[in-house]
Structure 1
Amino acid sequence: MNIALASLPAEPGRENEDFAAAAAGAAVLLDGAGVAGAETGCTHGIAWFSSTLGGLLLSAITAHPARSLVDCLADSIRVVRSLHEGSCDLTYRASPTSTVVAVRASAGALDYLVLGDSTLLLADQDGKTTAVTDQRLDEVGKRLRGPVDQLPTGSPEHAAALALYRDALTGLRNRPGGFWIAGPDPQAAEHALSGAVPLESLASVTLLSDGATRLVDSFELATWGGMLTVLSSTGPDELIRQVRAAEADDSEGQRWPRGKARDDATVLHWALS
């Protein structure tokens, strides 16, 4: 396997709530989430949740190659729940959650799973790119975030509007008409986007948290193809550097309204050829 991985927290010294790892023929990326400014009800925290779930999921998909990625995710959520349901309030609205991207190569195919707003970027041998992203959170967010986007990022007014927005989002989490994300309930795995593509058709596979895809889907400063060129030539560190440079140029969110001026950013790039 030829894998390059880079990850940076939103701010130096802050805990990184993203997690990514790879094993022989498999990789996972998770982006942990809570409700900004709220207690999580979990004594362990968001980073613990995403890294524990990610490690268990990677172990499950490699140890049980005949088991579907959906079932492996459900199994892993059950195990994480068992690890802290005795000490943490998992019914709390702000209980930790995480996006999930998982891939596994087997029997000439690449199986994939995407849950939440992280992205899987598939590049074929002809240079065509396909981004697999769960759009449900974005679709719900667009209906609710108008007041947030009208205010300077980081201002007290923005923080207050953002708290109300995220509280409204939490009320739509893991329910029909809302969006789905990995949390305490293993049934969320059943709502993941999943599929398979022939391995021989692929040149590379890239897993990205939404803090890394900003360059394309929020800032519109690059295309997926352009992002792939950066990854192939100079690697994930350069891609994240470009994201940070764009964020710095619009620190108050006037050009690109957003919830966080900077976000945890993680890229795992797997070159297959």
Structure 2
Amino acid sequence: MRTELVSEPGQQDRPNEDFASIGLPASGQGGALVVLDGVTPPRSATGCLHSVPWYTARLGGALTEMIISLTDVPLTEILARAIARTASAHADTCDLSHPRTPQATVALARWSPETVAYLVLSDSVLLLRSPDGTVTPVLDDRIARLPRASLATDAVVDSTVRNKEGGFFTAAADPAVAARAVTGTVPRAEVRALAALTDGAARWVEKFRAGDWADCLALVRKEGPGTLVERVRTLERADGDRRFLGRGKTHDDATVVYVEF
């Protein structure tokens, strides 16, 4: 089995808000990956004493432990339990009802000799490559389908679409959002490789249109996750007139996890 992980902050003077892990049980049977993209809050209050990296480290650590140790528990329940555990760690000190309480997007995959199960919540991406080379993207595209007017300002987003019916959902403090995730299970024999990307790395496809998802996974497979991130950084620097990035960050945290069976 080949596993690779790259995670690079968008700015060297700011902490990386992403989290990534690969778990391989001592039994040698199966494994799992966890990728989180912490949601950068606005400059206004969040109701929380803690930073986004604090949250993603807590949630990511809980997910990594549970996804490996509780192999009979569905991924939606794993995510719900991890959110609840993380919320309990700061419920006494923070206002977890605030719309900008620390939160993250989620991509999970867990494989056994028989199956590959997956879960995606919000705009991280999971790619599955079949034995014949076909690449299937697993996407939660609810943000992309929203009217631009609903994303005009942080205040509008928070009051109308963030973790609300008809909007989009992230892992924050409510375990119930786990049921909103995109999930599925496929036979292990139908998957030869998979990759999980935060949106900072997925920009190569989604923002810059440098290739499609099959091209993206082929690049990661051939040259490694680090090359994908380097190419994203090159494209970001070249986009001086913000033709592709628009209102997006010039450089975003970028994480890629690759697993090949």
TM range (shorter): over 0.9
Q: Distance in 1 between matches of 2:40 and 2:222?
A: 35
So what's the TM-score if we normalise by structure 2? 0.93
Percent identity for Structure 1 against Structure 2 = 36
Q: Does 1:197 align with 2:172?
A: no
Which residue of 2 is the match for residue 187 of structure 1? Answer: 176
User: Does 2:200 correspond to 1:211?
Assistant: yes
Correspondence for 1:104 among 107, 110, 129? 110
Long gaps (5+) in structure 2: 25-30
Deviation at 1:201, TM superposition (A): 1.2
Distance 2:156 2:199 in 1: 20
- Hey, what does 1:9 align to over in structure 2? 9
* CA positional deviation for 1:41: 2.0
Classify 1:141/1:103 alpha carbon distance in 2 versus 1 (closer, same or farther; 3 Å): farther
Provide the TM-score with structure 1 as the length reference.
0.89
User: What is the aligned partner in structure 1 of residue 89 from structure 2?
Assistant: 83
**SS in structure 2 of the partner of residue 247 of structure 1:** helix
2:210 matches 1:250? no
- The 5 A counterparts of 1:101-140 are 101-106=107-112, 108-140=114-146
C-alpha separation in 1, matches of 2:147 and 2:22: 31
The amino acid of 1:167's aligned partner reads: A
Deviations, residues 135-190 of structure 1 (Å, cap 9, x unaligned):
01222263435xxxxxxxxxxxxxxxxxx622211222222111111001000001
Q: Distance in 2 between matches of 1:101 and 1:259?
A: 21
Counterpart of 1:232 in 2: which secondary structure?
helix
Superimposed CA distance per residue, residues 240-271 of structure 1 (whole angstroms, 9 cap, x where no aligned partner): 00000000001441344242111110000001
- Alpha-carbon separation, structure 2, partners of 1:179 and 1:114: 12
Separation in structure 2 between the aligned mates of residue 130 and residue 199 of structure 1, nearest angstrom: 14
Distance 1:207 1:167 in 2: 30
| Alignment-mate amino acid for residue 258 of structure 2 | H
Give secondary structure in 2 for the equivalent of 1:136.
coil
How many angstroms apart in 2 are the aligned matches of 1:168 and 1:51?
28
Shift in CA distance, 251/61, structure 1 to aligned 2, threshold 3 Å: same
Map of 2:214 onto structure 1: 225
Number of the residue aligned with 1:261? 250
Task: Find the aligned partners of 1:143 and 1:197 in 2 and give their Cα distance.
Answer: 37
Q: 1:141 to 1:116 in 2, by over 3 A?
A: farther
Deviates more, 1:35-44 or 1:71-80: 35-44
Letter in 2 for 1:181: T
Tell me which amino acid in the other structure corresponds to 1:81: A
Give the root-mean-square deviation of aligned CA atoms: 1.4
8 Å contact from structure 2 (residues 34, 106) kept in 1:
yes
Paired amino acid for 1:243: V
Distance 1:229 1:255 in 2: 23
Contact (CA 8 Å) 2:47, 2:98: kept in 1 or not? Answer: yes
Of 11, 32, 51, the match for 2:38: 32
Give per-residue Cα distances to partners, 1:172-214, cap 9 Å, x unaligned.
Answer: 2222111111001000001111100111111111000000000
Letter in 1 for 2:198: S
- Equivalent residue for 1:166? 154
Gaps of 5+ in 1: 146-163
Distance in 2 of aligned mates of 1:75 and 1:84? 15
Distance in 2 between residues matched to 1:141 and 1:58, nearest whole Å? 35
Distance (Å, rounded) in 2 between the aligned partners of 1:235 and 1:15: 23
8 Å CA contact retained: 2:207, 2:244: no
* Residues in 1 aligned to 2:148 and 2:134: alpha-carbon distance in whole angstroms: 29
